[in-house]
Amino acid sequence: MLEFLWAWVFLLLPLPLLSYFLLPGAKPRQLAALKVANNQMFGDGERSIQRTVKRPLVLFGLLWLLLITAAARPQWIGDPIVAPTEARELILAVDLSASMQEEDMRVNGRWVDRLTMVKSVLKEFIDKRKGDRIGLILFADNAYVQAPLTFDLTTVQTLLDESFLGLVGKRTAIGDAIGLAVKRFDNKPESNRVLVLLTDGENTAGNLSPTQALELAIAKDITIYTIGVGSEQGRQVGFFQRASGVDEASLTHIAEATNGQFFKATDTAQLSEIYQTLDELEQIESNVETMRPQTALFYWPLALALLLNFVTLSVKLIQGRR
């Protein structure tokens, strides 16, 4: 079927007529009179003038109609296509607390902070999730949904890249992050219910303790894969100061209690395992999407208007030379 996306544009069709009748006309110029004895040599001047006036008006009306039709954005709507969507669904929870600023991680041979390491790890992770839905939770003093479950992995990656330390506080609310993921999965009864938690594992804030949040996750059958970000012993950053290490015991307990696994962000071999493990998850049939192919047609009336205008100008130029 033919459809005009901006059909209201056709309300502008009578605009030239309104301008003609409502706007004041130009005052006629005073011309000197020429007296002749016989007017037979001039032919039928009145008919000639009428034809000269009518032609531009008809041409202008046709051009205006074509331009308005093009501006209304005509498009051809095809038959509906029903496409059931199958995908894995998982949520990424990223720690933005102050402890993530410790520069005890190595990326490409240089020391970087833990958040930079997380972004490096998740870039490859997100690239390998094409066809899956991914959500993003950022947490520190509190937990926030930065991106709902979506196929738009580019936007998820962009939102992650734009995150920074201190964005949502300085402390670490791991329990709140898990609890928020549980709440989001409650709104998706048919889901794989997988949470990937990236943190150093030291809970220091939040309304829910990791133990309470873990009980909720177990009750809702949510599988949690934890990725520890931080060196085991911590990096020496001063003569008397050493960066805090990752709490592997807590992260391992959270993962194993939910039938998940714990991985180290510094171990590329281990990280490759999480990709393979998630690939083995069975895809679920999500909401059925109905699509109707759309073909834009605005360029046809627009091209015809340009062609007609070009021909008219060419004819006038030829007549002017004569």
pLDDT at 90 over 70: yes
pLDDT tens for 283-299 read 555 555 556 677 888 88
With cut-offs at 50, 70 and 90, classify the pLDDT of residue 273. confident
Helix (H/G/I), strand (E/B), else coil: 267? coil
pLDDT at 255 over 70: yes
Least trusted range by pLDDT, from 70-74, 83-87, 139-143, 181-185: 83-87
Contact 121, 165 (CB under 8 A): no
Helix (H/G/I), strand (E/B), else coil: 320? helix
With cut-offs at 50, 70 and 90, classify the pLDDT of residue 135. very high
Q: How far apart are CA 227 and CA 140, in angstroms?
A: 16
pLDDT tens for 165-216 read 888 888 888 999 999 999 988 877 666 788 999 888 778 887 888 889 999 9
Full DSSP string of 83-124: EEEEE-EEEEEEE-SGGGG---EEETTEEE-HHHHHHHHHHH
Q: Where along the chain do its domains lie?
A: 2-20+44-78+292-321, 84-288
Question: Which DSSP letter does residue 41 get?
Answer: G
Helix then strand then coil, % of the chain, to nearest 5: 45, 20, 35
Q: Specify the CATH number of the domain 84-288.
A: 3.40.50.410
Q: What is the mean pLDDT of the chain?
A: 78
With cut-offs at 50, 70 and 90, classify the pLDDT of residue 146. very high
